[in-house]
Amino acid sequence: MSKPRKPKGRPISGWLILDKPVDFGSTEAVGKIKWLFNAQKAGHAGTLDPLASGMLPIALGDATKTVPYVMDGRKIYEFTVTWGEERSTDDLEGEVTQSSDKRPTEEDIRALLPNYTGTISQIPPQFSAIKIAGERAYDLARDGETVEIPSREVEVHRLTLLNCEADKAHFEVECGKGTYVRSLARDFGRDLGCYGHISSLRRTFVAPFAEEMMVPLAELVALEAIEDREERLAALDAFLGDTAEALSALPQLRITDDQAHRLRMGNPIILRGRDAPVAEPEAVALAGGKLIAIGEIAGGEFHPRRVFA
């Protein structure tokens, strides 16, 4: 029997909050970071289009187990809508499909915003990752097919008009999972009778990570100039945040090293003491500040669901 193949790369874990540049795909960015850090595993929490810049949280190693908790978090985008043209991709990449000489006033735009705040119904763009009969919508669109994409409810927590120009307007939006900013631009233009598309898009926040945590890709790439491998990797590792940072919204449980050992073996632990929580559908167990497990508290016990090395 052949021996199992040893994984390539280092078994490092943590979050890198990348400031993704324009004209760089999210998958391409993850591949570059995985290679730079010589990491065994890497993944991202929420795709950014190549024409968009800004926050792309990248998980390395065990942190990939916490990606779903970041995917579900709130996001903030700054974006510009250029009026007068609707495009096939709802951004600068696509072909012009509708055009108009009409331009909205600032009063027109401000009057529209309440219609797009709260729980709204939205149809994703034709060029999106939505699956239609098992195929990605963008693959069907590239083949020239126009498909019916069902509308869905998304949450827009805040929508602000930052400023207006003759042919464009600048906005900031705070929204929930699954919201397409390109769809907002398309629908604004249709409602205002002037058409519109995204001409710039930048993500500045993905809960729970703050804007000041972002690291420009160029700053990381510059470290390739360090010839000593160990020194170079240590300089890169200094940019990594702890895996547990992605779980700050969950209740936290401080445990002993002995309890941590039991959890890592897949066994529940008994919670004692007057202040011990009675029930939580999801909670985090930490020992010495390090993430040990995500699990459920029930019947006076913590039951691990995901265990971390």
Q: Is 228 a catalytic residue?
A: no
Alpha-carbon distance 164 to 107, whole Å?
10
Burial 176-186 (b: 16+ CB within 10 A, else e): beebbbbbbbb
| CA within 13 Å, CB half, 224 | 10
Residue 243: phi, psi to the nearest 5?
-55, -40
CA distances from 195 to 57, 85, 205 (A): 33, 5, 28
**Residue where the block lists tokens 């699990």:** 295
Cα→Cα distances 293→41, 56, 124, 263, 275, Å: 19, 25, 36, 7, 20
Cα separations in angstroms, 104 against 73, 192, 275: 33, 7, 58
Which residue among the candidates 49, 90, 91, 187 is catalytic per the annotation? Answer: 49
Measured distance CA(75)–CA(115) in Å, rounded: 19
In 3D space, the residue among 181, 117, 121, 131 whose CA is nearest the CA of residue 153 turns out to be 121
C-alpha 121/C-alpha 155 separation (Å) is 9
- Residues identified as active-site: 49
